[in-house]
Structure 1
Amino acid sequence: MTGPRVVVAGGHSAGHIEPAMNLADALRRLDHTAQITALGTVRGLDTTLVPARGYPLELIPPVPLPRSLNLALLQTPGRLRDSVRAAGAVLDRVRAEALVGFGGYVAAPAYLAAHRRNLPIVVHEANAQAGVANRLAARLTTHVFTATPAVRLAHATAIGIPLRPAITGLDRPALRAAARERFGLRPDGPVLLATGGSQGARAINVAVSAAAPALRAAGVQVLHITGPQHEVEAPAGDPPYVVLRYVDEMRYAYAAADFVICRSGAMTCAELAAVGLPAAYVPLPLRGGEQRHNAEPVVAAGGALLVDNADLDPAWIEKRLLPVLTDPGRIASMSAAASAAGAPDADLVLARHVLATIARRRAAVT
């Protein structure tokens, strides 16, 4: 008998693609015979991120959907029909036994194609506010998983977000000295990691760089990842203020840092909780401020601070953040709280469920 055949659909953004790829890796760890195919589109990061992880990618036409289940959803029947047909052709060609969807442009057509074929549909929602594709899918299946219990989806079970073992297995204290040497940081003294994600965040870049004199005066080192579209001049002097446009292996940045100032995307919140890094979250002020909801559980647990984008400036960093950065006891307690809010085994929990679903389906037809 061939290995389990799974199609994963989580396209467009890294927040959808990375959990899909992390699940694929977990499936392979549990069953090396697993045959996994990724659905994607040319519109996002699919053609870059998926091949880099070593999985076959099948492209279908993108169908951006409105963010609510309303009349606008019914006004794109042509594009949706073509995309559903293309997704169905992939499911048939690879003889899929289950579809696992993570939202994004590719998910809704895949859900509909799988539903028409009576294939098991497994849904994972990483964000605190579910997208329209996953809200649609929750009406088609009972196999629904979310990042936190606060996500409102029918049949949902909260398991966290599938992450890479390189993150969930990170021993920050053991890697700290090597990581700091890697970035040219001192082995001792607090380190603030500033990052706006893969594309950077102008508000964070401006506020942190302007606060450099106060941070330096307090003995705080800075590892500042600006993003490829942003320029920040590294101020000369000591302690070090290191500026990089991009870091390939974030585990080293996490190991070097004591605290992070960053956006509150779902993957960022999940990774920082998994490695026990306290943070000052600056939610992206778009889409009704939905990123705020991703950070609220760890903030409530005492593992993070929350600051509005409009309130982030050098004065906030000096008055609110510096007292935390220079208090080892406060950092330690926040780190413990962040760790307690994490879910490091979500990839394996979801993978086991997918494999069990396929096994039951095979048993039912024999």
Structure 2
Amino acid sequence: MSRAARHAPSVVVAGGGTAGHIEPALALADAVRRLRPDARITALGTERGLDTALIPARGYPLELIPPVPMPRKLSTDLMRLPVRVRDAVMRARDVLDRVDADVVVGFGGYVALPAYLGARGRVPVVVHEANARAGLANKVGARFADLVAVAVPGSGLPGEQVVGMPLRRSITGLDRMSLRPQARHFFGLPPHGPVLLVFGGSQGARTLNDAVAAALPSLLRAGIAVLHAHGRNGTAAPPARGYVATPYIERMDLAYAAADAVLGRCGMTTVAEVTAVGLPAVYVPLPHGNGEQALNAAPVVAAGGGVLVDDAELNGERATAELVPLLTDPPRLAAMSRAARSSGHADAADRLAHMVLGIAGADGPAPEQDLWRANTQAPRRGREPWAQT
């Protein structure tokens, strides 16, 4: 029996920078704790981004390492890159030694790369890729990872295993129907009739906002209420009865419960959450980047749980043509809801947690004696991380 199986496993997650990297890391951490309440979880992050705001608030210790963003053009920053990588790797390695890591799980971004390099040859590595096209950090980590998990197939990473996107239990366990009366009251929406949820990220999406404003009269005439998160830098449509506008939605669980369909972008977190709760969606990919957003939504669209509309084609007329027939057809809504849910991976966090603990040699119930000493045991030093006892 491995040491991690007999004692509290130490799991390090590296997913700092953006919410898209942090949230799946924390969802995995929560799932590990559900399986092994004695587990010691440590999060790697930087002072940049949302790390210091999101991670401690969820109750996990945060260890800061220097950020290593990759310069996109020839510059003095590029010349300093090797030194920055070395410093970040040494700092990550120090953290891994100090917390006596049994496994490192990275989610991409400029925190994951130093974690992967610091763990190489010392601690087992698990890579999770959220998007249809892998980023540089995960491409590097996947070369020597013990497990490569992906949210959707076709990442191009070697040996990928499709597990889905780890999500919070508040989303995967959401009972939309039972929560609907409370959710609609919370937002001030009509208790009956269809509701469209529109959101395009924390800063907003001008294409979505403009299309909603143009389509709003037609939507309201059809009896469709609208909950519109227009973003902190976005603009709401003119006030109207049945239209609720807000810069940002804190309680996305209630927003999903209140809604019958979604109009939004198709970042992987959005697609994963919308499918997990079983909401039909009209997805509008970002018009720039490497095209990964359209690929993120492709499996859902192929299954019949969503519709894909190019950003350049979305206007008030197109929004009306897509949304009014959908939201006024209950049988079609129900069919698309089933298809959306069947194409998602609501159990991704638990599946990945089992895999991670298995690689750490700790997949199983916690020994009773460890429940009280999980946070008091002195770290081990100078051991071979895969040694069996």
What are the Cα deviations for residues 269-288 of structure 1, in whole angstroms up to 9, with x where unaligned?
Answer: 00011000011111112212
Partner of 1:102: 107
Aligned-pair CA distance for 1:96: 1.1
What are the Cα deviations for residues 145-198 of structure 1, in whole angstroms up to 9, with x where unaligned?
Answer: 001222221111101011111111111111111111111111211100000122
Partner of 1:331: 333
Q: Which has the higher contact order (CA 8 A, sep 6+)?
A: 2
Structure 1 runs not aligned, ≥5 long: none
Matches within 5 A, 1:32-181: 32-65=37-70, 76-116=81-121, 118-181=122-185
Q: Out of 188, 202, 206, which is 1:202 matched to?
A: 206
Point out 4+ residue stretches in structure 1 off by more than 3 angstroms.
72-75, 360-364
In structure 1, give the amino acid aligned to 2:116. Answer: Y
Does 2:197 align with 1:193? yes
In structure 2, give the amino acid aligned to 1:353. Answer: M
Q: 1:74 to 1:160 in 2, by over 3 A?
A: farther
Q: 2:143 & 2:240 partners in 1: Cα distance?
A: 57
Q: 1:304 & 1:347 partners in 2: Cα distance?
A: 23
Aligned-pair CA distance for 1:324: 1.3
Aligned-pair CA distance for 1:75: 7.2
What are the Cα deviations for residues 288-319 of structure 1, in whole angstroms up to 9, with x where unaligned?
Answer: 22211111110111100111111111011122
TM-score (norm 2): 0.89
Q: In angstroms, what is the RMSD of aligned CA positions?
A: 1.9
TM-score (norm 1): 0.94
What are the Cα deviations for residues 36-75 of structure 1, in whole angstroms up to 9, with x where unaligned?
Answer: 11001122111111112111111111111368xxxx9897
Residue-pair matches, total: 360
Partner of 2:263: 261
8 Å CA contact 2:132, 2:295 repeated in 1? yes
SS in 1 for 2:361: helix
What are the Cα deviations for residues 115-152 of structure 1, in whole angstroms up to 9, with x where unaligned?
Answer: 04x21001111111111111111101231100122222
In structure 2, give the amino acid aligned to 1:40. Answer: G
Q: 1:313 & 1:47 partners in 2: Cα distance?
A: 38
- Greater shift in the superposed pair: 72-81 or 207-216: 72-81
Q: 1:151 & 1:363 partners in 2: Cα distance?
A: 28
What are the Cα deviations for residues 175-230 of structure 1, in whole angstroms up to 9, with x where unaligned?
Answer: 11111111111121110000012232121112102211111111110001112222
In structure 2, give the amino acid aligned to 1:177. Answer: P
Partner of 1:27: 32
Aligned-pair CA distance for 1:236: 2.4
Q: 1:328 & 1:194 partners in 2: Cα distance?
A: 19
Structure 2 runs not aligned, ≥5 long: 1-5, 363-383
